[in-house]
Amino acid sequence: MAARPIARHKVVEITPATDKLIQLDFFNVSEGVELNCTIESLPTSGDLYQISDNYMNFKYTPWKGLAISTPQVVRTGSNCTIVFKAPLDFQTTRFTYKVNDASGGVSSTGIVDLLKTDRTIDFSNFTFDQESWMVQTAVPKNTCWSSTAITGNLNHYIYNCNMEKTLMKKNDEKPWYFEAPSRFSRNVANVFNGTISFKMAGFEGYFTADKLKSNPKTFLYLGCSTCNSGEGLYIAQRNVAFDGSAKSFSFRMNSNPYNGWRRDPFDIQKPDWPLTSDCEIVQVLSGLDVIRIYGDVSESEEIVGLDDFVMNAGPSSTYILNSCYADVDVAP
């Protein structure tokens, strides 16, 4: 079976109320074979256009030609270049495309994330409410929300509450964690080489050295429950120091050992989890449906606040390896 062409994922920075030329980032695995690009889904805000005759032939403005509907092939001779017209109130959106070759080979779906210059793909800043985040103990429970800045680091935040706490009682129950809502469950492969960041602070409890649980212990846990033929693939930060003081955390999403990502071996006898690979990180991000932040860091009971959870795309130089796209969990 011949290798399929690749429709690469891509991030494009957008300025509101402007037009943006976008060249789709495909890879031809068969040298000399002509490729066609097809827009599969449209952005939820703004509009896509074919490029005009004047621009395609002579590089003269205006850029915009006919509006694109879906599915629609990008016009021949444009080198798969289209135009996005951003609305005045542009925030973030995406569209998808595929590539096919003359022999009938069709790529998987490429995602083009259209973002502001901060390259934020998704976030929770808890400005108005809990945004459906939960706390998981033995059972899921609602978080509490506060608009009062207590630490100077958290302002409009959530915290674990309604947990029937008794101070100085030994915390020997199943570790509790914050759990992100289902709206974060989607393909965010473009977060690869970007960051996941958030702020935390402890308000109540005993965070002294003699009470803190020793590392390695899971702190941030990301997963794709449908990966590996449904067996799941999960990665974690396991050696993070959090002593209850107000702190900002930021984790770079690549496999450099310095960044600390390790793969869950599904073996409770192995406290030292193996390092993960770039393609495994891309796999998890492509089917992300589990985000857990463990505030249960001490042997005593604790109340912990969470604020400003942000997923940012990688820098413009970010490049997902072609080999990663061969995995069915990366590119269904």
CATH number for the domain including 237? 2.60.120
In-domain check, residue 320: no
Instruction: Name the least confident of 28-32, 233-237, 261-265.
Output: 28-32
Q: Return the pLDDT at 166.
A: 42
Higher-pLDDT residue of 313, 28: 313
Do 145 and 257 sit in the same domain of this protein? yes
Do 95 and 136 sit in the same domain of this protein? no
**What span, in angstroms and rounded, lies between the C-alpha atoms of 238 and 82?**
43
Q: What are phi and psi of 283, to 5 degrees?
A: -55, -50
Instruction: Name the least confident of 73-77, 97-101, 104-108, 250-254.
Output: 104-108
170: confidence class by pLDDT, cuts 50, 70, 90: low
Mean pLDDT of 295-313: 93
Chain centroid to Cα 288, Å, comes to 7
Do 158 and 235 sit in the same domain of this protein? yes
**What span, in angstroms and rounded, lies between the C-alpha atoms of 44 and 255?**
33
In-domain check, residue 251: yes
**What span, in angstroms and rounded, lies between the C-alpha atoms of 203 and 150?**
9
Do 26 and 103 sit in the same domain of this protein? yes
- Parent domain of 77: 6-117
The percentage of residues in the chain with a pLDDT greater than 90, rounded to a whole number, is 73
In-domain check, residue 330: no
Q: Return the pLDDT at 167.
A: 45
Q: Return the pLDDT at 269.
A: 80
Q: Tell me the Cα Rg of the chain.
A: 23
Contact assessment for residue 114 and residue 19, using Cβ atoms and an 8 Å cutoff: no
Do 44 and 136 sit in the same domain of this protein? no
Q: Return the pLDDT at 328.
A: 83
Type of residue numbered 202: G
Do 109 and 245 sit in the same domain of this protein? no
In-domain check, residue 255: yes
2 pLDDT above the threshold of 70:
no
Tell whether the torsion through CA atoms of 61, 66, 69 and 70 is positive or negative. negative
Q: Return the pLDDT at 71.
A: 93
Mean pLDDT of 180-196: 97
Tell whether the torsion through CA atoms of 273, 279, 285 and 290 is positive or negative. negative
**What span, in angstroms and rounded, lies between the C-alpha atoms of 37 and 51?**
14
Q: Return the pLDDT at 151.
A: 65
Do 240 and 110 sit in the same domain of this protein? no
Contact assessment for residue 264 and residue 164, using Cβ atoms and an 8 Å cutoff: no
CA distances from 120 to 71, 116, 196, 305 (A): 27, 7, 10, 22
Mean pLDDT of 84-91: 97
In-domain check, residue 1: no
Dmax (CA) for the chain in angstroms is 76
In-domain check, residue 331: no
In-domain check, residue 318: no
Do 99 and 201 sit in the same domain of this protein? no
The number of distinct structural domains making up the chain is: 2
In-domain check, residue 317: no
Look up the CATH number of the domain holding residue 87: 2.60.40.10
Check whether the bond before 175 is cis (ω within 30° of 0).
no
Q: Return the pLDDT at 77.
A: 87
Which residue, 100, 117, 134, sits at the end of a domain? 117
Do 56 and 128 sit in the same domain of this protein? no
**What span, in angstroms and rounded, lies between the C-alpha atoms of 306 and 237?**
17
168 pLDDT above the threshold of 60:
no
323: confidence class by pLDDT, cuts 50, 70, 90: very high
Which residue, 69, 101, 117, sits at the end of a domain? 117
Do 38 and 127 sit in the same domain of this protein? no
Mean of the per-residue pLDDT values of the chain = 91
179 pLDDT above the threshold of 50:
yes
Tokens 């400003």 belong to residue: 308
**What span, in angstroms and rounded, lies between the C-alpha atoms of 280 and 261?**
10
CA distances from 87 to 48, 50, 93, 169 (A): 12, 17, 11, 55
Do 241 and 200 sit in the same domain of this protein? yes
Do 98 and 130 sit in the same domain of this protein? no
Which residue, 72, 93, 117, sits at the end of a domain? 117
